Amino acid sequence: MSASLAVICNQHGTDTDETTSRLLEGITSQGVRTSLFSTQDVITNIDELEQFSGFVFEAESSQSLDKIIDAFNGASALKNKAGLWRDKLAAGFSHSAHSAAVSLRAMIDFSFFCNSQNMIWLSSGIESMEAEHIANKVTSSVGNAPILDNVMYQAYRHGQYLARVARQWQPDC
């Protein structure tokens, strides 16, 4: 079984925003299979989630956070008791640095939630990306904004980082 990540959002399909799309592009650019699930998909297709190496949870707002956690908890209670989520990778992503308080709360809540599910919580990897840019003296920009402040760029790089970890965690068999 090869590495794969399920991205779980409050909504998807025609409602998929650019940040989520860039995250998905970053994951697939590293050769890792990914699928997008809405909270309703989680409830109706919980068995399909077993095949993934890990999950990436959206932290758009406190309401979407609560819906995702409630949907995942409700649909997977028996699977968690059976230990099926043990050692699955887990991470979160946010749409904007402007909502830092919401994002911070969401990431803390997601990390506690994932710990209760016996998953392995991954940090954002942004620190290593910043260190790489500083070490290489990269001062690139997109428009007038430094590239590290560009949300779309960070979403893409975050997807790449998560995919690399997933590949290391579950190499192709």
Is 143 among the domain residues? no
Is 72 among the domain residues? yes
Quick one: pLDDT at residue 72?
82
Token digits of residue 68: 């995702």
Is 144 among the domain residues? no
pLDDT score of 26 more than 90:
yes
Mean pLDDT of 12-33: 83
| Owner of token pair 């954002």 | 124
pLDDT band at 24 (very low <50, low <70, confident <90, very high): very high
Quick one: pLDDT at residue 89?
94
Amino acid at 112: F
Is 43 among the domain residues? yes
Is 111 among the domain residues? yes
Token digits of residue 158: 């975050």
Domain extent for 27: 4-124+152-169
Percent of the chain scoring above 70 in pLDDT? 71
Euclidean distance between CA atoms 62 and 9, whole angstroms: 13
Q: Domain with 10 in it: what CATH number?
A: 3.40.50.360
Domain count, the chain: 1
Euclidean distance between CA atoms 3 and 115, whole angstroms: 21
**CA atoms 119, 92, 59, 97: torsion sign:** positive
Is 90 among the domain residues? yes
Question: Which of 16-25, 73-82, 160-169 shows the highest mean pLDDT?
Answer: 160-169
pLDDT band at 130 (very low <50, low <70, confident <90, very high): very low
Is 147 among the domain residues? no
The β-bridge relationship of strands 120-121 and 89-93 is parallel
Is 27 among the domain residues? yes
Residues 35, 23, 93, 8, Cα dihedral to 10°: -10
pLDDT score of 133 more than 50:
no
Mean pLDDT of 34-60: 88
Residues 19, 85, 89, 42, Cα dihedral to 10°: -10
Euclidean distance between CA atoms 134 and 56, whole angstroms: 27
Could you report the per-residue pLDDT of 57-70, keeping only the tens digit for each?
Answer: 887 666 667 778 78
Quick one: pLDDT at residue 53?
94
pLDDT band at 94 (very low <50, low <70, confident <90, very high): confident
